[in-house]
Structure 1
Amino acid sequence: MFTLRRIICLLLALFLYLSSLPPLTAEAADVNPYQERLALYKKMETVTNVPWYYLAAVDSYERGLRKARRDRPDAEGFISIYYAQEEWVGPLNPNKDDVDPTTISLFEGIGLDGNGDGKALLSDDEDVLYTLARYLESYGFTEEDFRIALWHFYQREQSVTIVSGHALIYKQHQRLDLHNHAFVMPLNHNYSYKSTWGDRRGWGGRRIHEGTDLFANYNVPIQSSSHGIVETIGWNPYGGWRVGIRDLDNIYHYYAHLNGFEKGIEKGTIVEAGQIIGYCGSSGYGKPGTQGKFPPHLHYGMYRDNGITEWSFDPFPSLKQWERTAKQAKKSKA
């Protein structure tokens, strides 16, 4: 039989146990973040008439920036758009924790109340998204208006290009869950590769190898490893015939030394993970059309953008992961 003392001890133990658990974030909760975000985007579209895919594009870009930069904390909710506290409440506002939309406006802060609770909270997804939507709305609703708004927001042409590309991808697919990947070659072809990122390269001056070489026969199909948009295509003296695709995590995927491009692949083309974009070759290291200075292979590189600059990182771990996933999928279908 339970005594009052024993019940109190059990409750105290339960309280201590629950207190020791990590906080439940939006990402960790048993919800679909894509559905939650899309609902927020479409709600703000209804309120402001700003197309939801514009809001999704900025949010996706900002999510990538948070992953790439150490000076920004992880997002607490579903929306990753970042505003500095001082910008939110106003640079001359003596109350740096101000949540009153009236005084925030008085001190020329940008924070707005997006859900009608009388508060402008930097930690509230609806308030943050509404603030962005009203900013975009002030410039207009066309694609050109969107690009102008982005230029004033980021003051960087590359950021404008990336966010605009995100918007086109979301507009075409009409959904958000576009972050799956594919291996860069069909598994039924012979190929080999190892980690070569950082190796020395001599042609064209001393430099490091900014990618992984996957050796295969001529004209083996090359597949896009991600959903994205073709940002660059054509000849490069180092990479020969190459394609550059930007994904929704702001990562630039570089496919070089191709023997040719798949029909219909051009600048601005929106591609899906696993879609054929070109064919393995040995082009490069010279003027347009130079071939055969090395065995046929795909040079595959990955570059991360942090809103200020862009740098390469080792794609080998990602390639191995995508290859394993592809093999498991093939095995499960057999």
Structure 2
Amino acid sequence: MKSKIICFTGLSLFFLFFSASATAEENAPDEKQAKTALYKKTQAITNIPWYYFAAIDQYEHNIQKEEDNSEQLISIDIPDELWFGVSNPGLTSEELITVSDGWGRDGDGDGLADKNNDEDVLYSMAHWINQYGNNKEDIKIALWNYYQRELTVQTIMSIAKIYEKFGTIALDKTDFPLPLHANYSYRNTWGDARGFGGRRIHEGTDIFAGYGVPVKATTYGVVEMKGWNKYGGWRIGIRDIHNHYHYFAHLNGYEKGINVGDVVEPGTVIGSVGATGYGPPGTSGKFPPHLHYGMYKDNGYSEWSFDPYPHLKRWERNARN
């Protein structure tokens, strides 16, 4: 749930347009270049690093329904009651919005604070953040007061960390979790019955392979969890830029230097295939060695498991090509 927001008067606008200049962006789709230009323009005006705007925008895009087909580039959706204020029937004059205790702001210099204007939306979000400051901890506090949900704040900060590291939002590469030359096999096992620990469904796909076969990250992401789980044994959890949590379980061990908070990319080796789990720390060998690969989706309110098999087949096919 989003909190009541207090508006504030802000920064004097000046107009400066940044093109997407990073080399990594040169081959990105035009839409991503245009988005990056908007993020960087807002950074120049507000001194908030561009990758935070990009991360908020990406998160909001991830939680929107597929049927939402706005023509805007920016997906950030600020509720009307917060944008216009308590007594404003929907007038877009920045002056009237301010008087009504709304927080919509004019980002492009036309005197209007229009929810359908990408620059106005980004600039208004920047105004909210700048009440708290523009460093990392200030931004986390601002996001918490807006979203009031820990996982949302954590996800946005992780996405920002990824964008900062690679300097681009054009991060579409993927990889299959095992080397293609390895002797492995898998089928769709999501939803199958499991008995250990009580009746439950299998929330993933099992990829059978030999002990020690390298396990790789499949997407860009941040290591969110690492350690023992009585069901999954030695496992790693990675959160990607699409609000997906990738769960790698039954590992034989971890790649040296992989720690919680690390940014990974497709192909980063994170561990190796094993047969750990179904017991206290160190339990192994209760089943043939395999990688349990699970995927979970967060929609801004809850998180649930979904079938990773189609993704694995696509990633495998793309890797072979």
**TM-score normalised by L of structure 2:** 0.89
1-structure distance, mates of 2:191, 2:123: 44
SS in 2 for 1:86: helix
Aligned counterpart, 1:59: 57
In the aligned structure 2, how far is the partner of 1:118 from the partner of 1:142? 29
- Contact kept, 8 Å, 1:179 with 1:248, in 2: the verdict is no
Q: Which has the larger radius of gyration?
A: 1
Superposition pairs of residues 138-217 of structure 1, within 5 angstroms: 138-217=131-210
Cα distance in 1 for partners of 2:43, 2:313 equals 40
Count the aligned residue pairs: 294
Query: Which amino acid in structure 1 is aligned with residue 237 of structure 2?
Result: G
Does the 8 Å contact 1:112/1:130 carry over to 2? yes
Show the counterpart of 2:301.
308
Matched residues in 1 for 2:121 and 2:71: separation? 12
Which deviates more, 113-122 or 75-84?
A: 75-84
Instruction: Report the residue type matching 1:78 in the other structure.
Output: L
Which of 19, 32, 35 is the equivalent residue of 2:30? 32
SS of the aligned residue for 1:278 comes to strand
Quick one: which of 114, 123, 130 aligns to 2:107? 114
Query: Residue 59 of structure 1 aligns to a residue in which SS?
Result: helix
C-alpha separation between the residues in 2 aligned to 1:51 and 1:207? 44
- Measure how far apart 1:179 and its partner are: 2.8
Q: Which amino acid aligns with 1:274?
A: G
Partner of residue 87 from structure 1, selected from 65, 82, 85: 82
Give the Cα–Cα distance (whole angstroms) in 2 for the partners of residues 309 and 156 of structure 1: 11
Deviations 1:152-188 (A, max 9, x none): 0110111111111111111111111113211111100
DSSP-derived class of the 1:312 partner = strand
Displaced runs of 4+ in structure 1, greater than 3 A? none
Which residue matches 2:71? 76
Asked if the contact 1:49/1:137 (under 8 Å) is kept, the reply is no
Cα distance in 2 for partners of 1:214, 1:151 equals 38
- Alpha-carbon distance in 2 for matches of 1:279, 1:74: 42
Residue type of the alignment partner of 2:247: Y
CA positional deviation for 1:86 = 2.7
Higher percent of residues as helix: 1
Q: Partner residue of 2:41?
A: 43
Structure 1 residues 266-298: Cα deviation after superposition (integer angstroms, max 9, x where no partner): 100100011111100000000001000000000
* Partner-residue secondary structure (3-state), 2:75: coil
Does 267-276 or 176-185 show the bigger shift? 176-185
CA RMSD of aligned residues (A): 1.4
Q: Distance in 1 between matches of 2:269 and 2:163?
A: 20
One-letter amino acid of the structure 2 residue matched with residue 35 of structure 1: Q
User: What is the CA-CA distance between 1:31 and the residue it aligns to?
Assistant: 5.5
Q: Is the 8 A contact 1:195 1:212 kept in 2?
A: yes
Gaps of 5+ in 1: 1-29, 329-334
In 2: Cα distance, 1:286 partner to 1:325 partner: 36
